[in-house]
Amino acid sequence: MTRHIVAVIQARMGSTRLPGKVLKPIAGKPLLWHIVHRLKKSRLIGEVAVATSTNPLDDAIVEFGKHNGVRVIRGPEDNVLARFACAAEMLDADVIVRVSSDAPFIDADFIDHLVSAMIEQDGDYVLLEEDAMTAHEGVDPMSRRALDKLMMDAASDPVAREHVTGYFKLHPDFVKIARARPYPRLARAAGRLTIDTPDDLAFVEAVHARLDAKAGEASLADLLLLLEREPSLRQINAHVRQKEIAPQGGLALIRCDGGGGYGFGHVKRMIALARALRDREGIGAHFAVNGSEDALPPIRRAGFHATLLPGPDASLSDIVPHADLCIVDCREGPSRAQLAESVKDIPVTAVIDDGSERRLAADFAYYPPVPQAEHLDWQDSHCAARIGWEWALLGLPQAAPRTRPVSPRPTLLVTMGGSDPWGFTLRVAQALAKLDPVFRARFVIGPGFENPDATARAIVALRSNFETIEGADSLATEYGACDLALAAFGVTAYELAAFGVPALYLCATEDHALSASAFEHAGMGVSLGLAETASDRSIAQAVWNLLGDHQRRRDMRSAGLMTIDGNAAARIARDLADALADKRGVSAARAAV
């Protein structure tokens, strides 16, 4: 059987130690060019691609790909595993050779040696035989089976998400590991050959100069002989070490709106962030909720303390006397001055998707790249604004990408929020009842609906193809099973995109309509504009048109999966934990003076 073998180079511009390193020149050519050039010498690799992130910084990598005939696939910045899953799906790969973008001396013949052994032994991952030495680094062949299993069973593991194949080394029974024979030509210890710092770059330039080698032609075998003759070259970067990050602990105060007329979107996404803080960074959380009692049970079920505030402007200073973090996700709440007073003794403060003046009292602010966020004024503030799809905080984890077959009777999911204070759900059902019932429609009846039983009865009485979903804590299963969604714009829109669900958005406010325009621009969905101006006929026609346009729905699905990864909770948690560690380091240093 012929296998499609693909080399996927993981690369991004945002290295903290050496920003833009993948395009730094070596012997006159970018580092990434060297790696692509060497991979193309392989006899077995059928295609070379680059997996980068959706961060605008990585637009430069896309341009590199265009000028060098290399396909570039974009995915989440801080989830390498998800990037590889997207690449494997788009390239239809049977074997994936994971290639690091910081190892410029890869050897195509050695890669073929590993791939051949893995295929011959029907393995899912390959290592050299035990005790076999090699100087080669930066490549890891794996089967598509192994990658799919990582996505299914280990997608939340930090090692799998960041290092991908490193998970196999820690869990050798997870997949079938093949063993390749020793490779004598490279059977030496080489020391550090990767590029993470300016000194590493200087070392590689020095090696090329000593070998008098043109770009891409300094072989690893020749390099090893050179280092044996001139071991002093190693001193250029011998001091470089990988930094270590340890869990630090602490407590976060989370202020959010929820329940009743506020809906449950803020609560859901704050629970996701609280879990990431707790499970990944060792930081606990206590919720302070403005709204109604029905917002508290899901918080408590997730294992967190929750306090209902007497009003939106209630002080936060007495709820958690010694909080390390304060995170605010609300529409009604304290002013800038009130927030500043409440958090004056808290080391790090952040706001989520906040367009009010309150944000200027925070240390960090996180936003998707909607027009409102792009035009905010940050004068007279020390706040660091993080704006991008990678910061789009969801209440659900991302599903493993799936290829859905085209169904002769597609499923439409209608979800208008946990409380639907606008009454959109019944209105939409009445509009859709006029369509030919060749599709299945499932209407979500949220926990905060004013008359849930009456609404459900009215909907199912309209058409035989109408069903209701009641009492669901999570819609993840529904997202995975539907072909199209009609949703009130809000947190749900982000979740649908992350699950690859094509969507139509009905907007309750001008602000929502403006945000929905960014989703439409990114190709993830279609905005129907303000509900008050959208006619029932236009809503029904838009649904009908998309249900019949399979290609457009596939394109929208791909756009969603490539744009929103569903991992902002972990990303924000790490960002805040790092900021807290920095503050603690400063405090400790001052105390020691």
The pLDDT value given to residue 591:
37
Measure Cα distances from 389 to 4, 77, 241, 552 in Å.
Answer: 32, 10, 32, 21
What lies within 8 Å, CB to CB, of 69 at 6+ separation is none
Q: Are 502 and 521 in contact (CB under 8 A)?
A: no
> What is the pLDDT, as a whole number, of residue 205?
87
- Number of neighbours of residue 198 by Cβ within 10 angstroms: 14
Cβ contacts of residue 53 below 8 Å, gap of 6+?
A: 12, 14, 74, 75, 76, 77, 83, 390
Give residue 454's domain range.
Answer: 411-563
Domain identity same for 118 and 73: yes
pLDDT score recorded for residue 242: 46
Predicted local distance difference test score (pLDDT) of residue 233: 78
Reduce the DSSP state of residue 337 to 3 states and report it.
helix
Could you give the CA distance from residue 280 to residue 571 in angstroms, rounded to a whole number?
Answer: 10
CB 315, CB 243: distance < 8 Å: no
Q: Which residue has the tokens 């002769």?
A: 408
Same domain as 267, residue 215: no
Is residue 41 domain-shared with residue 186, that is, in the same domain?
yes
What residues of the chain score a pLDDT lower than 50?
16, 242-247, 398-403, 586-593
Same domain, 68 and 193: yes
The last residue of a domain, from among 385, 403, 437 = 385
| pTM of the predicted protein model | 0.58
Supply the CATH number for residue 351's domain: 3.40.50.11190
| 255 shares a domain with 232 | no
- Residue 579 in any domain: the answer is no
Is the same domain home to 184 and 39? Answer: yes
For residue 411, give the DSSP letter.
Answer: E
Measure Cα distances from 266 to 12, 299, 505, 506 in Å: 31, 11, 18, 19
Q: What count of other Cβ atoms lies within 10 Å of the Cβ of residue 581?
A: 17
| 588 falls within a domain | no
Task: Specify the residue for token string 């997202």.
Answer: 479
In a domain, 103, yes or no: yes
Is residue 241 one of the residues assigned to a domain?
no
Question: Could you give the 3-state DSSP secondary structure of residue 80?
Answer: helix
Q: What is the pLDDT of residue 120?
A: 95
Amino acid 15: pLDDT: 64
**Residue in the block written with tokens 């210890």:** 189
pLDDT of residue 399: 46
Residues 150 and 13 in one domain: yes
The token duo for 146 is 């192994």
Considering its fold, how many domains does the chain have in total? 3
**End residue of a domain, out of 210, 236, 262:** 236
Asked if residue 270 and residue 151 are part of one domain, the reply reads: no
Question: Is the residue at 334 inside a domain?
Answer: yes
Q: How many CA atoms lie within 13 A of 216 on its CB side?
A: 13
Q: Is residue 9 part of a domain?
A: yes
In CATH, what number is assigned to the domain containing residue 450? 3.40.50.2000
* Domain match, 107 and 198 both: yes
Q: Could you tell me if residue 464 is inside a domain?
A: yes
- Type of residue numbered 39: L
Domain identity same for 232 and 286: no
Claim to verify: residue 94 and residue 228 sit in the same structural domain: yes
Q: Is the residue at 593 inside a domain?
A: no
297-320: pLDDT as tens digits: 988 887 788 999 999 988 887 787
How many residues comprise the chain? 593
**∠ at Cα 555 (552, 560), nearest 5°?**
125
Q: Tell whether 304 and 416 lie within a shared domain.
A: no
**CATH code where residue 47 lies:** 3.90.550.10
